Amino acid sequence: MKKIFTIGITGGSGSGKTYFLKALSSHFKEGEACLISQDHYYKPIHQQKRDDNGVENFDLPESIDRELFLADILKLQSGEVLIKHEYTFNKPKSEAKTLEFKPAPILIVEGLFVQYFAEINALLDLKIFMEAKTHLTVARRIRRDNVERGYDMNDVLYRFEHHVMPVYESLIEPLKHKADFIVPNNTQVDVSAKVLAGYLRTLL
């Protein structure tokens, strides 16, 4: 079997990783690329560490089941089909969907810590770092957590100040100096996605 080309996309919360991935995926047909996100690997809320005010911190490396994340990436790289339950972000009333991930020539791994976890970073053939101005990341975080997920606004802002930014500045931002490409996402990234897709299609 031909080696699966694995791409790791990281960046801070609100940097536009999800939008970029949608733009990138639009250039591929079914079966050409497989995308798996770190979002499916958060530990249950009762296993999350709490800060000094008793608030669960989902922005720490320890919040992720990194062993399972690694194991599933290796399965996809070896050509195995992966079945997982959707992570519902601790919403007890939400019914988790069953997700199927089929191996493809191009594997895209997305998440805050995909380049921070050394064992996962070692599996990447191409490393992409998304970055955006702070005021845009705050707005996007509010739009996602407050508007789309229904989290309290004070909770969203508290977590951004006390969890998101400290981890980004100390653990995530330094990774951009080791990335193969840095994609600025202050306006739109459609051109960047198209250029990358053009390169990746030469590997198919």
| Contact between residue 38 and residue 69 where contact means Cβ atoms under 8 Å apart | yes
Can you give the pLDDT at residue 180?
Answer: 95
Q: Report, as an integer, the average pLDDT of 113-136.
A: 93
| pLDDT one-digit tens code per residue, 152-170 | 888 888 888 999 999 999 9
| pLDDT one-digit tens code per residue, 11-45 | 988 888 888 888 898 999 999 999 999 989 999 88
Can you give the pLDDT at residue 88?
Answer: 67
What is the distance, to the nearest Å, from the Cα of residue 31 to the centroid of all Cα atoms in its chain? Answer: 21
| Contact between residue 3 and residue 119 where contact means Cβ atoms under 8 Å apart | no
Domain range 5-201, CATH class: alpha beta
What percent of the chain has a predicted confidence (pLDDT) above 70? 93
* Average pLDDT over all residues of the chain: 88
Tell me: pLDDT of 148 over 80: no
| Contact between residue 20 and residue 183 where contact means Cβ atoms under 8 Å apart | yes
| pLDDT one-digit tens code per residue, 83-109 | 988 776 655 566 778 889 999 999 999
Sign of CA dihedral 159, 138, 141, 65: negative
Helix (H) or strand (E) holding 20: helix 17-25
Pairing label, strands 106-110, 5-11: parallel
Pairing label, strands 82-85, 98-101: antiparallel
Give the Å distances, CA to CA, from 28 to 31, 78, 177, 194: 8, 21, 29, 10
Q: In the chain, what are the domain boundaries?
A: 5-201
| Of 185, 187, 204, 183, residue with least CA distance to 195 | 183
Can you give the pLDDT at residue 13?
Answer: 86
Cβ contacts of residue 139 below 8 Å, gap of 6+?
A: 14
| Contact between residue 71 and residue 119 where contact means Cβ atoms under 8 Å apart | no
